[in-house]
Each structure stands twice: as C-alpha cells, then as structure tokens.
Amino acid sequence: MPESPPHVVIVGAGFGGLACAGGLGHTPVRVTVIDRQNHHLFVPLLYQVATAALSPADIAQPIRRMLGRYPNIEVRMADVVGVDTAARRVGLADGGAVPFDRLVLATGSSYGYFGHDEWAEHAPGVKTVEDARFIRARLLTAFEQAEACDDPERQKALMTTVVVGGGPTGVEMAGAVAELTRHALARDFRRIDPRAATVLLVEAGPRLLTTFPEELSDYAYAKLRDLGVEVRLNQAVEDVREDGVRIAGRFIPAGTMVWGAGVKASPAGRWIGVETDRVGRIPVNPDLSVKGMEGVVYALGDTALTMGGDGRPLPGLAQVAKQQGQHLGRALRANLSEGAPMPPFHFKDRGNTAIIGRSAAVFDFGRYRLRGWFAWILWAIVHVYLLAGFEKRLLVAMQWLWRYATYQRGARLITNPTHGHVERAASPLGEAPQGAQGSEPRRRAAG
Amino acid sequence: MPESPPHVVIVGAGFGGLACAGGLGHTPVRVTVIDRQNHHLFVPLLYQVATAALSPADIAQPIRRMLGRYPNIEVRMADVVGVDTAARRVGLADGGAVPFDRLVLATGSSYGYFGHDEWAEHAPGVKTVEDARFIRARLLTAFEQAEACDDPERQKALMTTVVVGGGPTGVEMAGAVAELTRHALARDFRRIDPRAATVLLVEAGPRLLTTFPEELSDYAYAKLRDLGVEVRLNQAVEDVREDGVRIAGRFIPAGTMVWGAGVKASPAGRWIGVETDRVGRIPVNPDLSVKGMEGVVYALGDTALTMGGDGRPLPGLAQVAKQQGQHLGRALRANLSEGAPMPPFHFKDRGNTAIIGRSAAVFDFGRYRLRGWFAWILWAIVHVYLLAGFEKRLLVAMQWLWRYATYQRGARLITNPTHGHVERAASPLGEAPQGAQGSEPRRRAAG
C-alpha cells in the first residue's frame, strides 16, 4: 500500500497564500487552501471600488478558478476558529476539522484602532469588498442627503470626508475622493457644489508616506493640496463618532470617514498559542517556520514578523507576501518530495509605489526615484499587469483609459444599507462568528 | 414678475420615468425625478448579474449622470410614502414633501407571491441589484457547502436550483444557471460534479413563454432540456421554505430558489386612492392620465393598466414603458408650453425576445419569427445597443464575447450574507420603512 501523500494546509488565499499554493501545484503533495471568502482580492486597488471607479468583480477572482488547474489542490471556503498544533488539525467554524502535516498561515492583517475597536463601525478600513461597498454607499449617500438638505451647516458636514492615516492607502483614498467630488460628481447636483466638498487627510506623524524618501512625501503633500485635499500633519484622531471625528481637541462633523492607520495582524498567533509582537505578528525563522514549531507551522506576509537584511522588519507589502509565498511553495515542494533542507528567505525589493491622483504617482526604487506623469503611467502598467487574468486586465485598463479621457466614474452605485456595516460582518456561510477569537473583528484572510 | 414655471414630478427612474424626463429636458418646465435608488437599472439583464456573468455596475447608471445635462431637471433620491392629490404634494419618508403641478407615476412592478409574501425571503425575484447579488451569493455558496459536505443527499439538495415561472425571466434564469453549472463551475470542484446539478423550472400553465407563439415555446422547452434543465409544466408551487419547495404534493429540497412568476404593481394606486385592477395597476385614459385625475396625475409602464389596439392590456415590457414615457414627455412639453391638447398613446410593437442560452434565443415580430443562433446574435446586438452609455456597451459586449469564447464567468463573488435578504431591504438613506404601505415589500421604482 502506498503511503498517503503529505498534506499541506494553507490558511488565507491572499497574495502570499496563493503564491505558496501555486508553488505546490502539480506535485505529489496534497494541498488544501482555506479562505473565508470564495475570491482572491487585489486589495491594492480596493480604494478604487470605494470611490466608484471599479466594480468589485474587476479586482476579484474566484479562488477555485485560480487554482482549478492543479488537481492536487483543494479549496475550502470556511472560517478558521483555531489550530490544534499537537493533533495537527485546523478547526473550522462549521464544526469541521482539517488535519495537516504542514500548516502555512497567510491570514493577512487588518487596521488597528489603537484600542478603540468601536471606531471601526464609523470609520472602516479598506480591506474587503464589503468595506469598499460600504464606503462607496456612504460617500454617495452623503452627497444625496446634502442635495436634499436646506441647512448649509449640515450640507457642509455631509460633504466632508475624513481619511485617517497618511500611508499609501490614506493618500490614495484622499486623492481619489477629491477627484470624485471635483470631476465625476461636479455637474450632477443642483443645490450643492460637490467641488466645494472638504477632504481631510489626517496623519499623526510629521509627514505623509513615511516609508518613502522625504522628497516623495513632499511631492505627495503638494499634489494633494493641488487636488484640494486639506492635509493635517502631527494631528492624532482622538474620537470617532457616527457624525464626525475629534482631532486636536476640535470636533469635525463629517459624512464619511475612512480608516487607513495602524496595522493589526490576524488572530493566527493566538490560534497557535505563540507570543506575537505588539501588532500581532508571529516571529518566524529565516525559512519562515514559526519559532518553536520548526518543520510544521509556517507564517508569511502580514501574519509574520520577518527580519530584512538591514535587521528591520519587512514592510507589510503585497510583494513581500508574494515573494515569501513563492519561496515557501518551492521550499516545501523540494523538502517534501526530496527531503531537501528549507532554505532561508531573502526579500528582493521591486520598488515601492503610491498614487496620488490623475497623472500623479511616486515610485521609490531605492537608488532611483520617480514622480509625476511618468510614474503614474508606470503605476498603471504595473497594476494592470499584476491583476490576475487576461480578461480583468483588459477591462480594467479600458476603464482607466475611459475615465482618464472623461473624468467619469462607472460604478456609482448605492446598494448597501449605510447602517449595515455591522451586520455585513456576518459570515456568508451563515455560521457562528469566530467566538474563539473574542472581540476580534472578522476579517478576510489576505496576504 | 414672471410666473414660476410649471413643476412636473416623476416618481420612478426606470425606462418609463427616464424617457418621460428626457422628453421634458431643455424646456421651460421644472422637473423633479424621485427614485429610491441613485441608479437606473437595466432590469432585463439583471439575471446575468444573478448568475455571475456581469457586475451590477455594468447594467446600472447614476440617474444624476443620465439627466445631468438638463439644467431644468432635478433628481432626488428618496422614498415616496404617499401622495396628497388635493394639495398636490408627494410625501417622502424623510418627512419632506414635494409639490407638483403634474405628477407622473412610473413606479414599476414587483413579483406577486399569490398571497404568500413570506415566500419572498427564500425565493426572491430578480428586480434589484440586491436581489441579484443575493441570488448569486446563495447559488455560489450552495456549491461551496456541497463541496464541504459528506452527505450525498444533502449535496444533491444544495446543488438543486428551483426557478418558479416559465416567462422570459424564468426561462433566462434557468438557462443561465444550467450554463453556469455545466461550464463555468464544472472543473473547479474536487468532491462534487457541478455538471450533475439539478435545475428545475416550474410553470403552472401548460407551456413556457405564453406571450410568444407556440412554436417558440416548444423551441425554448427543447433547448432548455438540451441544457439539462428539468421543465415541469402544469405544476404549481404549493409552499416555499428555507430549504426547498413543495410542488404537486412533493417536497423538493433545494439550495437556491428564484421567483419569476406573478406580477404586482407598485403601491402607487394606493398613494392616490384609486381603484386598481387585480394586480395593482392604475386604469388610465388613452392619454395616460389617471381616470378621475385628468390633467394632473399620469401613470405609465407597469404601474398603468393601458389598453392596446386589440382591447387587451398592454404587456409589462420595457419597450411599452419607454414608448409611453417618450410619448408623455413630448405631450406634456407641448401641453405646458403651448397649451396643446394631450394626444392618445399608441403602442408600436418592436418585437418580443427571450434568451434561453448560448446561441439560443427567440424573437417574435408578429408576422416574422426567429430562433436559434441568429436570434441570439440579434438579441445580443439589441441589448448592447439598448444599454445606456457608450462605456457600458463596449464593456458588456467584450465580456459577452469573452464568455462566449471561454464559457467563463467574471463575477463569481460571494459577498452578501446569505441570511441578509431581509435586512438588505432597509433603505440606503437610513429612513423608516414605508409604513404607510403596510406589509408591501420595499422595492425599487422601475418602469
């Protein structure tokens, strides 16, 4: 009787998990990919869904279709609630359990609210399709309400959008909202002038895009100001309510609030009972195995605390997760089929980019830096290329071209109940919430 | 002091309401269009959203954008709760009131559940974006659950889709579900074979597509059978539960149920306190004015009971609503600016069409009849042409071409909580439900 093949379970079908699964495709290894969603999401473009430029389906692909060509890979849509490392089993919310020989944790991260998880309801991050749809509905509804309203104070409040966090997500979001109000919405109202809308970008630190060189931060600041965004540096958010935020002691009424600050890893660290760093990341060895669980449990992407060549933690970027997934997939394939040792992971920096708006982006390649129109074109090419699947690439590229020519937005749909932000966190499988994780907000496993 | 211009209020931005508004654009008449949604929806293609072929934004356009070029037209996103015909005011759910000189009711229709409105929760119709997304999520989730399940009976039940009603919507839906399971989903699962999924089309009458000639009904029947759809004629649905339907005394467990039978007009008849026909339609004069409210209140599309040249009521088709809207817009323009009399409406039959599946459609032009591949091409051309807006036409056409070549579906997203069908009926404006209409399910005003 032949031995049954080793079974690798990958939790999370984000950039890291998918890359790892791909590396194990067409091998004698049995692989199961578990995700709470049925689709892989291209999260870096999600802010474009939130600002009505793209549809969710433009940046999402069914995980089954992406891995369908590998007969040795099974996909399971389920919520993971815990891991029994001794018995080597992953526990699911539906009561099921998936046994494993090797476990890869690629469950991504969410935003941290500095101990104020109740703020999430009013100022959601941009991590899931539901988040993006909620923000889109809230933003567009606020302008509808302003149009129907006679009180100038309330109109101004409804037409105010506050974006928290001056990292790439915050900068992209603030720029996109400003362009939406200045162009796509500009001529469609009779009583309000959307061009007069306020977009506030709040950053607690002294500059925007702190992971970029200072000259690119300055460029982003200047470009956002040109777009009409009010940038507030060195100011922390002190409170978030349904109707606005308190910043530097002053309450600012707002119709829409978006959160892009702080980072919190998924609860994977608690599943396996290891000590994590301050933001929940699992410390791993150079081969990405979890310390103390060598040869059995691995973690990558935003879930893992990986040290770079300079001794500092690697940043939470899609390219880090993707490279780690590719590395781990190859390493596990060689290890499981030939008994090869697990080599250490080395990050190759492909450059870092952020987009501010039409014709304005920044690129940091270490020695080279780019900004402006050419950086924007490069940004667009890179993102269209990275979008998985030919059909999507072409469609997204066409929509970008169209919008560039017309300033229009194709996905101005209000469909989510604005007050549905809490209910929408319910599982699509109708299962009980992740009780084991306590008050952890339920989030998509995305690398 | 110049007299203030006459004010026409149009409730509903479906095909009829939009056409009427367009006819009054660039005139000295003041126009207000009220809809509970911010978007016009191309309802005839909504079944393609429900079956993961198109995204909601592909077939929806912001009403504001569509009417933005007419400075005399205002758009208001609001829920109408009643009409005070004596004071000439439309009452809104947010407490507001809109005065009018002329009122056009173009509020569309929904499906009738033969006195069993509680069935709607389990077997929704395909009338709104939320309906379509709910059906899509339920359908795709059922296959995910079947894959995760070990009980063959339950697998079979989850992989069963029941479509109620053999009209165009039911035929299109059943054909699209069969193609989805036979092709797009076919290779993506490991434990279940989606090609073995059951698609049941139930029709209480003796044939499908009763509004078409019998030879086209027979063709649709044969084509659906070829696709693997189980068609049940002369069988009525006796009960709908969360887990299946009872038909002809037998309970059939099902994972997904879709309703496409019966018609019920919007509650507009009750708003103005007139007697309606059995399905809620308002009797109108040949000039589309409501009987007893001549010169003040008009109704069109599915809201109105209009008699055709043969003395029978005109069917509830988009082309009827559109022609009536165009007619009424022109008539009101001439009447309000020059005092011209209101001419009677005459329907010009442009032909009737339904699609069964890939390369299979039917066309009825009265004297000419078409079916098969050529009818399918014609169907596609007509629908791409009818889709408002150049960008959408091109994108939809490309996606159809792509799917024709690959059998793939681009929008296989599960994002709505399956059990959220009731909550999702909440208003996007966060207002109280339409209390005045009692138990009326809340629906989009669509002509």
Range in B22-31, B262-271, B292-301, B400-409 the model is least confident about? B400-409
Beta carbons of B445 and B108 less than 8 angstroms apart: yes
**Which residue among A68, A94, A129 sits closest to B415, beta carbon to beta carbon?**
A129
C-alpha B146, offset from chain centre: 30
Residue A404, chain B, CB below 8 Å: the answer is: no
Q: Do B430 and A412 touch (CB under 8 A)?
A: no
- Examine residue B441 and state whether it is found in any structural domain, yes or no: no
Q: Do A413 and B57 touch (CB under 8 A)?
A: yes
pLDDT at B439 over 50: no
- Examine residue B437 and state whether it is found in any structural domain, yes or no: no
Residue B447 is predicted with a pLDDT of 31
Q: Do B96 and A148 touch (CB under 8 A)?
A: yes
- Among B131, B129, B202, B128, smallest CA distance to B161 is for B202
pLDDT, tens digit (0-9, with 9 covering 90-100), for B129-170? 999 999 999 999 999 999 999 999 999 999 999 999 999 999
Q: What are phi and psi of B301, to 5 degrees?
A: 65, -145
Do residue A248 and residue A308 come from a single domain? no
Kindly name the residue from A130, A172, A179, A203 that is annotated as catalytic.
A172
Do residue B52 and residue B18 come from a single domain? yes
In a 3-state reduction of DSSP, which class is residue B252?
Answer: strand
pLDDT, tens digit (0-9, with 9 covering 90-100), for B114-129? 889 999 999 999 999 9
Residue A420, chain B, CB below 8 Å: the answer is: yes
Mean pLDDT for all residues in chain B: 89
Do residue A151 and residue A243 come from a single domain? yes
CB neighbour list of residue A79: distance below 8 Å, 6 or more residues apart: A36, A92, A93, A94, A427, A429, A431, A434, A442
Name the B residues in 157-216 with CB < 8 Å from any A CB: 187-190
- Examine residue A85 and state whether it is found in any structural domain, yes or no: yes
Do residue B47 and residue B184 come from a single domain? no
Do residue B208 and residue B309 come from a single domain? no
Residue B2 is predicted with a pLDDT of 55
Residue B419 is predicted with a pLDDT of 33
C-alpha B3, offset from chain centre: 40
pLDDT, tens digit (0-9, with 9 covering 90-100), for B389-399? 666 777 777 77
Do residue A121 and residue A245 come from a single domain? yes
Mind telling me how many Å the CA of B181 is from chain A's nearest CA?
A: 13
Angle at the Cα of B360 from the Cα atoms of B410 and B412, rounded to 5 degrees: 15
The proportion of chain B whose per-residue pLDDT surpasses 70, expressed as a percent, equals 91
Half-sphere exposure (CA, 13 Å, Cβ side) for B163?
30
Residue B433 is predicted with a pLDDT of 32
Do residue A400 and residue A272 come from a single domain? no
Do residue B258 and residue B363 come from a single domain? yes
Residue A94, chain B, CB below 8 Å: the answer is: yes
**Which residue among A62, A78, A190 sits closest to B412, beta carbon to beta carbon?**
A62
Do residue B256 and residue B242 come from a single domain? yes
Last residue of a domain, one of B350, B371, B406: B350
- Examine residue A435 and state whether it is found in any structural domain, yes or no: no
> Residue A79 belongs to a domain with what CATH number?
3.50.50.100
Kindly name the residue from B3, B118, B172, B275 that is annotated as catalytic.
B172
Beta carbons of B174 and B224 less than 8 angstroms apart: yes
CA B295, CA B290: separation in Å to the nearest integer? 9
Our count of domains for chain A comes to 2
The proportion of chain B whose per-residue pLDDT surpasses 90, expressed as a percent, equals 75
Residue A408 is predicted with a pLDDT of 75
CA B74, CA B60: separation in Å to the nearest integer? 19
Half-sphere exposure (CA, 13 Å, Cβ side) for B307?
10
Extract the residue ranges of chain A whose pLDDT is less than 50. 1, 417-447
Range in A82-96, B178-192, B380-394 the model is least confident about? B380-394
Contacting residues of B for A79, CB less than 8 Å apart: none
Q: Is B242 a catalytic residue?
A: no
Do residue A336 and residue A362 come from a single domain? no
Domain residues for B144? Answer: 117-262+351-423
pLDDT, tens digit (0-9, with 9 covering 90-100), for B201-230? 999 999 999 999 999 999 999 999 999 999
CA B75, CA A58: separation in Å to the nearest integer? 29
pLDDT at B441 over 50: no
CB neighbour list of residue A108: distance below 8 Å, 6 or more residues apart: A12, A14, A16, A127, A265, A266, A301, A302, A303, A321, A443, A444, A445, A446, A447
pLDDT, tens digit (0-9, with 9 covering 90-100), for B291-350? 999 999 999 999 999 998 888 999 999 999 999 999 999 999 999 999 999 999 999 998
Do residue A138 and residue A217 come from a single domain? yes
More confident residue, B39 or A403: B39
pLDDT at B237 over 50: yes
Do residue A290 and residue A369 come from a single domain? no
